[in-house]
Structure 1
Amino acid sequence: MKEFKKLKLFLLMILVTIATLTGTQIVKAEEEDDIKFYIRKSDNFNRIAEYTDPSNVKGLSWDEERNILTMDNFECTDMGIYSHGKHKDITIIVKNNNKLTSLRYGVKIYNLDVKLIGDGSINMTNGFTTAGNEYEDDFLVDNRGSVIIDGPYLNIYDSNMILDDFILKSGHVDMRCCWLEFRGFGIPNELKELQRAPAIQIFDKLEISGGSIYINTGESLNEFDYYDAVEIYPAISYYGYKVTPNVYIENSTFIFVDADGDEEGLIGNYNSRSDYIDMSKFENIIYEYYTDESQIKRILIDKYDVKLSDNSFKYNGKAHTPKVKLGGLFEGVDYKVTYENNIEVGNAKIHIKGIGFYTGEKTVEFEIIEEKITNEANKNTISTDHTSDEQTSDKRIVKDKNFIYKILKESITKNNYGKVEVIGFTNNKIKKLKIKNVIKYNGKKYKITSIGKNVFKNNKKFRSVTIGKYVTKIGSKAFYNCKKLSNVVIKSNKLIKIGKKAFFKKGKGTIKISAPNKKKKAYKKLLKYARCKKIVM
């Protein structure tokens, strides 16, 4: 890879020299503000077709207005998705089983943040990677690219993903590391070098907040004695020349298999083999390390919360099968579901059984009713001009004298903390807003871990805001255009996401934001990416 970059830089220098001697100006092509798709199908390997709307390709449909691509039993050899112009977000809905068998680069993304959702699967080679990877040569191209996975199952062989951000919220990702052979450029012709490339290379952020990741580094080094040199990189590598990227892991399962017993080699610096991240520092995760796949011990599903798409149905004589979500796991890979007594009026049962890396059983119930009933959640929903647009009728809503909260995670016992999100406020006279660390409800404790979208947007009273120590996320436009707001204190060391324009002030004045010293650099970066304006830190 290093040799390839050197070659590109060398060719660029030749181009610049020729242009200088001939008086030719090198100008950037006029940007087109659209998204294009480049697809090579297995039945026509020598042809790459270009599309602005790939809806006529079997297995694909494209919603141009919302930038949503649907994959449904789609197959191809190579695929590229490029934004020619502004950096954009794109959502890919994954349905059923999809297969992408690239020989080298997987799905190349250019100037895009890609979010994968849905309950389907993608079997692929190499994974997702930024096209060109010109991170050191910003004067050539700005091709940032990130991937967010929230639901699907990705099975990636020879994984070699190169991204700014890799984020897993839910779903299951299986990866096997890629081994690359080098000879020629920069290496004497008679020598052969082998490299085990990282399954994922990141530049800015690694965030795992749910789901499962399985990484197998592949063969033991003893299998490659015939190579003159073997180069080994961490399975998940980050580039840390200037600053160590944000690495945040919770509520997830990591299974790491390395035949050579290099447990430290899971997450580390690509450029410094002595710089590794200790997995034991992360809370609320299951981390298992093995030297052989056959040693893997199956994990009990008891620890995972069950959520249903609906808890009650009106009788219609047909079988009701609500969608089951077990933690951030993937149905069909991590667990399977069967239904009992799910036609007639009464209590129906759902049996959940762990499969793959998981074991154990759970049973939950839902009801089938004869006449229409009022959903109790609707009774508890508080309607107010100040509530977040994330407030929904199927979530439990609670409030105190100042705020409205949505329960994200229940508190099971008095000693076990649940989680809530601030979604609204009830006191219009507050000038000094303080978001607590913990609230109590029905004798149980809940940590305040997030602030919803648009919650305090356009407030005319706030002069100062204090954000509690457990907050990990601040939603888009949460404090947008709070005209009198001039001072914000962030006490949290765990903040990993600031939504777009969360702090955005119009007109005169600035917002001074204070944060823990060791987090200032990381939080500045989050604020920058969130396009927050008139901020002083």
Structure 2
Amino acid sequence: MKKIKNLFLISCMVAGAFLFSDKNVNAEEFKPNVIGTLTKAGDSVKVKDANKENNKYFKYVSSTDELMYLYTDAKSNDPVIEVLDKDGKLIEKYDSMSQIGGEFIDYAKTGNYYNAEIFIKLKKGEEYYFSTYLFDEENLVEYNVNLIKATKKPVVDVWYGETLYNPKKLSQTDNSIAGLKYDENNYVLTMNNANIPYALGIAAETTNIFSDGLVEIKVLGANTITADSESLLYSFESIVFTGNGKLTFKTKTDEFAPYNIINMIEANKDKVCRVNGPTIESSVRTKNIVFDVNIFIMDGGKFVYSGIQKENNILRTNYLYVNGGQIDVADATCYSDLLNTNYAEVNGGSIRASLKIFGMSGYDPFYKTALYGKDYVRINGGTIFIKYVEPDGDVKDEDISGFNAIESIHEINVKGGNIYIVKPERLQKPLEDKWIGLYTTGEKYNPEKAILFISDKANIQKGSTIDMSKVECSLEYTKCVYDGKEKKPAVNVDGLVEGTDYTVTYSNNINLGTAKVTVTGKGIFTGKKELSFTIEKPVVKAETLKVGATIKNSDYIYKVTKAGSKDGKVGEVSVVGLNKKSLKKIKIAAKVTIDGVTYKVTSIGAKAFKGNKKITSVVIGKIVKKIGANAFANCKKLKKVIINSKVLKKVGKKAFYRKGGKKLTIKVPKKLKKKYKKLLKKAKTNKYVVK
């Protein structure tokens, strides 16, 4: 553990230093000849004749969120494994086993310490390309790349301290910080309304871990990290923020400026910072880059900075992916590129940014870039809203210049999404051509290879104001059921803030019909956008009575033998008694409808009418299959029974048995007379004649 403490000490001293590994392959040309796929424990890929000039590619498709272990099993030589992104750019390289305390692990007991090994923990469904080759080209042995479940997990520690020069380890049983818990077995750090008066650090005992979120930081309720430290959160491992709470970073004294808020830079290691749910925010002024991470993935929640950064970026990354949620730097004051990355990709969610003039002493007034991707900026979806702030003071218009709001040296590729760029009238002329474009004056710009593509499918609006009718808006729902109450579906306008950029009013939103929603622009957004939704008649719920339930109509009592419903499903019932006690003539119908549900009457229950002193005649319906025992026993005034059913299969014992009274006449279907006589006789019917 002493080693980990020293790593923190060294890293804090060189905060911000990072060497990007960069193996460029054109996205259109990267079509590797894949020799196999690893996806689950037990999968293996055989490798032959692999050297640096003839490296072999295989694919990794994550089938689980659990920790896995990938390793080579060469008997000799020195295998190398490289991890590539979807365009073929090198993310990470592993050329040896992990060490703990200077000792090789050899987790799979291969006997060759030069084998490559990686602990892998990726979000289920994620896909990566890997390549492998042998370092020694004179001894091209065959070997396998194997995938197994990691039953022995590497230790990952969480550290805390007023600074990270002399931190303490947060153990699983540590209760010293209320609301802060670490599950070291599952790598879950939970913050639940925790006020943490320390900086936090995260480090594993081994370095060979490839993950898009090894340590989960679950944020619940309102939390703060408050410290006068070089970095407020420092991690050697990939982290993912989850939960629906808020985490605010602060310093103890206003005049203290840390190097970074979050620092995840470690030489030659690409670690991921993923946000998926909570709000991460700060307004702390920093000496260096505010959020310095290698790979930043925005999946959900909010990432907000509202402080002052005079000389460096708010967010600097190697890769930036925005898939959902919101990055909000609209209230920040930054005199450098706000979001600075090598590779930027926006697929969903939103980015809000404000550009303010760079006017330090000795410099001409200058506007930097909101989103800069050196190698590429690819926008496939989502919303980007960039607002230029008019300069204060005695700045002359002819002195104003700047970069594009969205810029790259090599590639701008806009296939979709919404981009709103607003410049005050005063800036229209000095920055008339600075919107979305390539940085063409740098030494690395190559006009023969550079790409600038903007699809007609993208919704791009620019000017001193934006017409609200051109802004993409959607409703929480477009149909609802009438209940006599006012309906107000939420309006979703990615990248804009209700009350600041627009207001919402509703009309005709109580009664049946088409309701109207009016989204009215505010401030730099002008005009209106009309949306609508329908209020429909309520659909009658298909209520279902359970088997055994008792139901009634005006004359009879029934028991449900097969459930029916109001949406047309026909049930079945048995007649079990009289509801109208004065009834003399019994008529068992083929079907009855009660409370909107239709039932077939298929039987007469045991003792249903036993001992009734008023019944004189009975008509049994066409689909009655069974007459229960003693159903009409001792009905002394009963003289006539008509059985219309042609599907009667059973007459229960003594169903028509009587001790007194006149002979009973039972009329049955002519073709079934013989069969029904046997049923009646078997039931011990007495004093009767069958016709």
Instruction: Give the TM-score normalised by the residue count of structure 2.
Output: 0.35
- Greater per-residue helix proportion: 1
Instruction: Give the TM-score normalised by the residue count of structure 1.
Output: 0.44
Return the index of the structure with the highest Cα Rg. Answer: 2
